[in-house]
């Protein structure tokens, strides 16, 4: 069974699907993984009332880097800027204002930080970024007691779309079809 069919099984937990795909280099190349983490971070950052501009920029630079439109230097700068946001939101959550909104911001900024990392870093932190984005979405919904499969479903669907797209592109290259 290929990975796309496995991801579509109802018998496999959505969280387990994401964990397996994001932590295993055989399924997604570095570009695909970075673009997915950027999407997860963007989904979470959109929930923040006033996201830190450094994190928003880190996501944008990481996207551009994934498609060869930004340099290593630009990515490194974005990574450092996003990294500098983490202690600020961490402090706000743990000491100043430990509430749902503060954690949403922490989760979103953490995902942005992961998006701007170097290839090995993003591979190591992709799951954390996906999980943080799911936590942010969950916390945004009042009255939901715990994280559910539905919170991961949008991510699984996005991974499937990326995998299908790459399979289609590969088949076009090898067969010459459109």
Residue ranges per structural domain of the chain: 3-175
Structural contact between residues 74 and 104, judged by C-beta atoms closer than 8 angstroms: no
- Threshold 0.85, pTM exceeds: no
Predicted confidence at residue 175, as pLDDT, reads: 42
Top-confidence range, 19-23, 69-73, 167-171, 173-177: 69-73
Q: In angstroms, what is the C-alpha Rg of the chain?
A: 17
Structural contact between residues 88 and 34, judged by C-beta atoms closer than 8 angstroms: no
Q: How many CA atoms within 13 Å lie on the side-chain side of 71?
A: 3
pLDDT surpasses 80 at 5: yes
Predicted confidence at residue 159, as pLDDT, reads: 92
CA 23 to chain centre: 12
Q: What gap in Å lies between CA 64 and CA 95, rounded to an integer?
A: 35
pLDDT tens track for 142-165:
666 666 777 788 889 999 998 888
The DSSP call for residue 92 is I
Q: Which of 70-84, 92-106, 140-154, 162-176 has the lowest mean pLDDT?
A: 162-176
């Amino acid at each position: 069974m290929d990975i796309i069919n496995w991801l579509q099984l109802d018998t496999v937990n959505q969280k387990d699907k994401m964990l397996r795909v994001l932590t295993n280099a055989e399924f997604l190349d570095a570009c695909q993984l970075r673009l997915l983490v950027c999407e997860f971070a963007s989904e979470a950052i959109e929930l923040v009332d006033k996201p830190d501009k450094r994190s928003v920029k880190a996501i944008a630079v990481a996207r551009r880097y994934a498609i060869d439109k930004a340099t290593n230097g630009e990515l490194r700068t974005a990574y450092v800027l996003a990294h500098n946001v983490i202690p600020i939101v961490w402090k706000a959550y743990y000491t100043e204002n430990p509430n749902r909104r503060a954690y949403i911001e922490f989760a979103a900024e953490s995902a942005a930080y992961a998006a701007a990392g170097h290839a090995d870093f993003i591979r190591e932190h992709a799951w954390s970024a996906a999980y943080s984005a799911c936590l942010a979405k969950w916390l945004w919904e009042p009255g939901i007691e715990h994280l559910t499969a539905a919170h991961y479903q949008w991510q699984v669907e996005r991974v499937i779309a990326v995998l299908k797209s790459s399979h289609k592109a590969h088949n076009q290259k090898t067969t010459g079809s459109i």
